[in-house]
Chains A and B, each alone.
Chain A
Amino acid sequence: MPAPAQVSLPSDREVRVTRQFNAPSQLVYDAHTKPELMRKWLGYTGWDMPVCDMDLRVGGKYKWQWKNQEDGKQFGFYGVFTEVNAPSRLAHDQYYDPGDVGSSMPVDDPCNVGLDLSEQNGVTTLVCTMRFASKEARDGAVATGMTDGMEFSYTRMDELFKQQAA
Chain B
Amino acid sequence: MNLDATFSALADPTRRAILARLAEGEASVLELAAPFAMSQPAISKHLRVLENAGLISKGRDGQKRPCRIEAEPLEAANEWLERYREFWECNYARLDSLLETLLDEQKPRRKAKRRKK
Contact = CB atoms under 8 A, between A and B. Distances in A.
27 contacts: A5-B85, A5-B88, A5-B89, A9-B81, A17-B88, A21-B92, A21-B99, A22-B99, A27-B103, A28-B99, A31-B95, A31-B99, A31-B102, A37-B102, A40-B94, A40-B98, A41-B91, A42-B95, A43-B91, A139-B7, A143-B8, A143-B11, A143-B77, A145-B80, A154-B86, A160-B90, A161-B86
A104 B5 CA distance: 13
Nearest to A146: B87
B7 A41 contact: no
7 closest pairs, A vs B, by CB?
A143-B7, A41-B94, A23-B99, A7-B85, A41-B95, A5-B89, A5-B88
Contacts of B84: 7, 15, 142, 145
Given A22-B96, A27-B99, A139-B11, A157 B91 contact: no
Contact of B85 (A17, A21, A41, A160): A17
Interface of B: 7-8, 10-11, 13, 16, 77, 80-92, 94-100, 102-103
Contacts of A30: 102
A132 B76 CA distance: 23
Q: Which range contains the number of A residues in contact with the other chain?
A: 35 or more
Contact of B90 (A27, A45, A143, A145): A45
Given A41-B94, A45-B90, 15 more contacts: A21-B95, A21-B96, A27-B102, A28-B99, A31-B98, A40-B94, A41-B91, A41-B98, A104-B11, A136-B11, A139-B10, A139-B16, A143-B10, A143-B77, A145-B83
A161 B99 CA distance: 20
Contacts of A22: 96, 99-100
A2 interface: yes
Contacts of A88: none
A49 to B, nearest CB: 12
Given A7-B81, A27-B103, A19 B88 contact: yes
Most buried by B among A5, A37, A140, A160: A5
